[in-house]
Structure 1
Amino acid sequence: MAHVGNGAGSLDDEDQFEDAFDRIPVASKMDLKTSLEECAIALNLVLNNKFSEALDLLKPWARESMYHALGYSSILVMQAAMTFEHKDIQAAMGTIKEALQTCQRFRKRNTVVESISSLVSKQADSLREEEMHAEICYAECLLQKATLTFVQDENMISFIKGGIKVRTSYQIYKECQHVLNMTQYVASNSDAFHQFEGGVKLGIGSFNLMLSLLPARILRLLEFIGFSGNRDFGLSQLREGAASHSLRSILCVLTLLLYHTYVTLILGAGEGDLVEAEALLEPYQEKFPNGSIILFYTARIALLKGNFEKAQLTFQQCIASQHEWKQIHHVCYWELMWAHCFQQEWLQAYRYADLLWRESRWSKAIYMYQKAAILSMMPEEDVKNTGENVGELFRQVEGLKQRLAGKSIPTEKFAVRKSRRYSCSTPVKLVVPALEMMYVWNGFTIVGKRADATEGLLITIEKAEEQLSNDPRPSEYHPDDQCLVQMLKGLCLKHLGRLLQAELCFTQVLSIEKRIRYDHYLVPYTLYELGLLYKQQGDVAKAIRHIENAKLNYKDYSMESRLHFRIHAALSNLKGSPVNTP
């Protein structure tokens, strides 16, 4: 059985794998070593866009081998999470239940979690390799089931059930780390042991990293039931896992890439380490030059660096690289839509928003709002040529919103509230709605990498500012619109290095706070941006004061949780202290 790439074997075995696509061996028995080898081949198939072949390889042993069960369910869960189709979610849920049963058969009768103290003190030496791996596989399967539980039903009971599964998984990882520490001297030369170690580092690293992102008020509650998180420790565990030659090294890499290219931007101030992201991706770009997942992250990094042209070309390559999973096309459409928005190429951006609306089930409300918002930025003649009615599109948004765990999704809720201006008997047009949504997704941080694009946005915003100033019959939304324009103008000026002018824009928003009637989110968000501006000027004390003002003195506004995530990241950085303790 051939070893593969970053899987069970060494890197030198990669060439063996490249010639093995057409002659994948069929195992006659399935011990732990063989299952790890086959799953390494399956993982390489996925990275080479051969999703069906990977499933065909894993399925025959999915009820006999814990790793085949985990691999098979992982692919189906990933597909279900991307399609959001009910039939895919149901199929994945059925598979994950079977995978849990398969893993359970290999677990010690008194599981690691149930009797860890006795295992560590008396039996750590004798704990069988299969039992160690069964714990890790079981924990991963539980996380997958929790993910599906969250999206399968929209009631609070499902949300609680998912939370319990997450907690059980977290406890298993913690105890496996304990076992790992106690048994390292016993089995440190075993390949199976290194695979177990890779699983622990992936789980412990991911949990610590993601928990460290949570605002203090949420984390205090989670710490009460046994959760804790440390960002630096989580990153170090994932980096060690990524540098290893275990089956899960690529999963550690993908987790770090997700953190640096998405999480830090949406839930932070955009402080992802793109140098590290590029270094992590480079070896895989050489091995899988046409792999859609690798191409996607290559394009995403180019976008974040402000190289919009390269990003657009690479996203197109990603789309052309495979046609089996249309869902990967959809995430590329989303990125291409924003790449064109950043350059104010509104017609091209509209076409991708329209493709998403027609093909993807992720969030019909957001896609409809994006279409309408982008069309609002275009000349009337161009809008007519599309055959769309902007007001009608906005009016459809509210009927498309979804619920998760019984609650509306915050970004959809925001889009619905903004769209209601078109439901009145006398509709009141939104001001630069596409730029407002760009801010919601922290897009100004990306545009700020390009002075030419930022100058272009500033010109558009100043035109809107002038129109508002010259409006002969200002509506009840007028103060809100003025504040939005001033905040966005301040952001452009900040990224252009015109810091004093940016400060004036932000303080102007704060000066008319009491006149705002609907968009109350603008004040705490402006305080946060003003805090970041003072940080840029080197006045840390002033920065902390303004950001804590936003945190402590405002509540019940749109996208409040998103701002609290960003505030948490900013204050942790400003105060120079670890996020939490492990």
Structure 2
Amino acid sequence: MLIGNDIKDAISLVWNNKFQEAENLLKDKSTISPRYSLHFAEIIFLRSFITADVKDTESALKRLKETRELAEKYISLLESNKTPPTYNQELKSKEEFKNNLLDCKLVLGDSLYMLAVLQLTRDHKIKGCFNLRKSWKTFEECLKQVKDTSSTIKYEEDLLECLHFGAGFFYFAMSIIPSNVIKFVELIGFKSDRDLGLQYIRDCSEKAGVRSAFATMVLLFNNLLLPRGLYNPTKHLKEAEVLIDDNLKRYPQGSLFQVMASHCYRKQCRVDLGLECMQRAIENCSALPKPPLIYSYELANCYLIKLDWSSAIGIFESLVKEENFQIRALCGLQLAGCYVMMGEPKKAQDAFTKIKDYVKKSSSVDPIILRQSQRYIANNGHFSAFEVMYIRRDMAKMERISAEKTLLELTKCAQQAGVEKPLACQANIGKNQPSTNSFFKSFSSLTKSKKDDLNTDNQIEDRASYLLLKGSVLKGIEKYEESMSCFEELMSIQHLLQDKNFYVPYCLYEMSESYFHRKQFDLSHDTLKKCNNHSNYDWEDPLKVKLRIIFDQQKKDGAGGGNQIDQEEEDQQEQPIIQSADQLENQMETLTVQE
């Protein structure tokens, strides 16, 4: 067997949070075997997502590059019918050569897409996209090798499972790439098939083999962390619950599955249970050489959902001291927002000011955070805490009691900002309305001082923020008429807002959801198109991913989607899993890049 029991034991240890024990099993052979090298690199790859530590990410990149180089070296030897010098015995039969060659190619494909994932998260878009392309071409070669009808070679089941997972992951990853990267992907010829990718990943998850846990984690990512668009999320949450329950029995110390359980509970409005899962996940990481900073961050956000600003502050204050924490700037932004909510404006201003020191050059998100912090310094950040919660979708679905508490807090913020009621400058909207934002400002500058202009601009933005946040909470508890009033007022003052703000596109999206729930499907679709026409605004990627998923749904359903969406979801659950390499090859041939 090319994937021996020691490798399978190491994989089980990793998913049970026993990273050091797993490394001890694999380390000796990691420099002489591509397969051992891959799983040795995977250990730090997974750990880097738990710690979110820059040094862990750099170590993962280093190990994956070493794996890639070793795999390429062995592929060259095996294609020349030479046994690699580190093998214990000479390969003699064609079947032995073919299985070993397939194994090395699969290792190469896996290492390339893992490299790409890390590079894309560090905003190295071009490197990431070309490694994705190389990964794709590698899996394509593997499929052709397995499909070869002139051969009677029997391939090991573990290898075929790895092939299905790799190809499925590739399909899936292409379908969720952020909008600021998609142009690079399209440029080099890729397309995507999210449903087919998920079919293969689901198949690997059910087989309980070498890629089962990885496949399950991808399914949970899809079910819990990706936006659902206009789908009813109930089926995805039920599937997630079953997967989490099964895997916690299999990996009782598996902190990653506890984290997913937390997300699942939060989406079901069972925040207290979600908080308990995060605490258990952190406890399960006590043996790690570095603290699970990303878990602490998620625990802080559980407290934010409960409006427990004080408990969240304690965690954020600790996290901003971690210089290598990849989302340190975001923690700083949320810390400052908590200070605002606790009535400590001086601490809030100091925290907003310090964010410039936390920004990392490798992050594509930190420049947005810096701009937002500067805006909050100017307008006192009345709604800053809730805006980040909104962007994270932590306000998307709340129990009625929690929603009502949130509405009360928003009202207090609006009163402090002086924007609880429509502003005086809104009085003449609709009558002699200025045609452009710049014209209005030029005209108003004749009658107002710069200080007055700044105060007015801040109040207009605060009013827009209040309307967006209040409307989204009302929509979440199905008060559609009241929420629509908020959204319509926001749209009526859009010409008064600063350029490139995110309030208008997000408002259009919220309106499209409201129209959909009121069964005004054509109006919902038209509003989505208007939303999609906006670009180059802060926090654009989360919304663009959501829009991409919705348009894909509507393309399958036809026209505006209508009430076919729920039925389509049921049909999707009943589709047979495509399992043969022949079928996968036929599907993937349609995506072949024209050389």
Normalised-by-shorter TM-score class: 0.7 to 0.9
CA distance in 2, matches of 1:358, 1:463: 31
CA distance in 2, matches of 1:274, 1:160: 35
Contact persistence 1:219–1:228 (CA under 8 A): no
1:389 to 347, 357, 361: 347
**1:322-341 to 2 correspondence within 5 Å?**
322-325=285-288, 329-341=292-304
Contact persistence 1:438–1:444 (CA under 8 A): yes
Secondary structure, aligned partner of 1:545: helix
1:361 to 325, 334, 338: 325
Match of 1:98 in 2: 66
* Aligned-partner residue type, residue 414 of structure 1: I
**1:96-495 to 2 correspondence within 5 Å?**
96-107=64-75, 109=77, 128-149=98-119, 159-182=125-148, 186=152, 193-214=156-177, 219=182, 222-264=185-227, 271=233, 273-325=236-288, 329-359=292-322, 361-380=325-344, 389-404=347-362, 409-410=364-365, 412-421=366-375, 427-445=378-396, 448-466=397-415, 467-469=418-420, 475-495=456-476
Offset, 1:500: 0.8
Q: Deviations over 1:146-170 (max 9, x none)?
A: 3455567x7xxx6433332221011
Secondary structure, aligned partner of 2:419: helix
Change (3 A) 1:85 1:349: closer
Offset, 1:264: 2.9
Offset, 1:520: 2.4
Number of matched residues? 516
Contact persistence 1:395–1:422 (CA under 8 A): no
Offset, 1:247: 0.6
**1:78-97 to 2 correspondence within 5 Å?**
78-80=46-48, 82-83=50-51, 85=53, 87-97=55-65
Offset, 1:105: 4.2
Offset, 1:82: 4.8
Match of 1:24 in 2: none
Contact persistence 1:132–1:176 (CA under 8 A): yes
* Aligned-partner residue type, residue 138 of structure 1: L
Offset, 1:270: 9.0
CA distance in 1, matches of 2:379, 2:140: 55
Identity across matched positions, percent = 21
Secondary structure, aligned partner of 1:306: coil
Q: Which segment is superposed worse, 330-339 or 488-497?
A: 330-339
Offset, 1:336: 1.5
Change (3 A) 1:71 1:317: same
Secondary structure, aligned partner of 1:273: helix
Change (3 A) 1:183 1:494: farther
Contact persistence 1:444–1:492 (CA under 8 A): yes
CA distance in 1, matches of 2:341, 2:149: 62
Normalising by structure 1, report the TM-score.
0.81
CA distance in 2, matches of 1:485, 1:324: 44
Do residues 498 (structure 1) and 452 (structure 2) align? Answer: no
Match of 1:509 in 2: 490
Contact persistence 1:477–1:517 (CA under 8 A): no
Match of 2:430 in 1: none
Match of 1:67 in 2: 35
Offset, 1:180: 3.5
CA distance in 2, matches of 1:332, 1:216: 27
Cα RMSD after superposing both structures = 3.2
Secondary structure, aligned partner of 2:325: coil
Contact persistence 1:212–1:231 (CA under 8 A): yes
Q: Which segment is superposed worse, 195-204 or 140-149?
A: 140-149
Q: Deviations over 1:243-270 (max 9, x none)?
A: 11421111111111122222337x9989
* Aligned-partner residue type, residue 568 of structure 1: R
Q: Specify every segment of 5 or more residues in structure 1 that has no aligned partner in the other structure, as ranges.
A: 1-31, 113-122
Contact persistence 1:370–1:434 (CA under 8 A): yes
CA distance in 2, matches of 1:285, 1:519: 44
Offset, 1:295: 2.0
CA distance in 2, matches of 1:333, 1:86: 16
Q: Specify every segment of 5 or more residues in structure 2 that has no aligned partner in the other structure, as ranges.
A: 81-92, 425-451, 562-586
Q: Deviations over 1:480-539 (max 9, x none)?
A: 110110111111111111111111110100011111126621111101110011111111
CA distance in 2, matches of 1:277, 1:375: 35
Match of 2:550 in 1: 570
* Aligned-partner residue type, residue 376 of structure 1: V
Change (3 A) 1:497 1:111: farther
* Aligned-partner residue type, residue 413 of structure 2: A
Q: Which segment is superposed worse, 250-259 or 357-366?
A: 357-366
Match of 1:6 in 2: none
CA distance in 2, matches of 1:416, 1:316: 30
CA distance in 2, matches of 1:204, 1:575: 24
* Aligned-partner residue type, residue 413 of structure 1: P
Change (3 A) 1:572 1:88: closer
Offset, 1:304: 2.0
Contact persistence 1:299–1:315 (CA under 8 A): yes
Q: Which segment is superposed worse, 101-110 or 343-352?
A: 101-110
Match of 2:445 in 1: none
Q: Deviations over 1:350-372 (max 9, x none)?
A: 11222222236112211111100
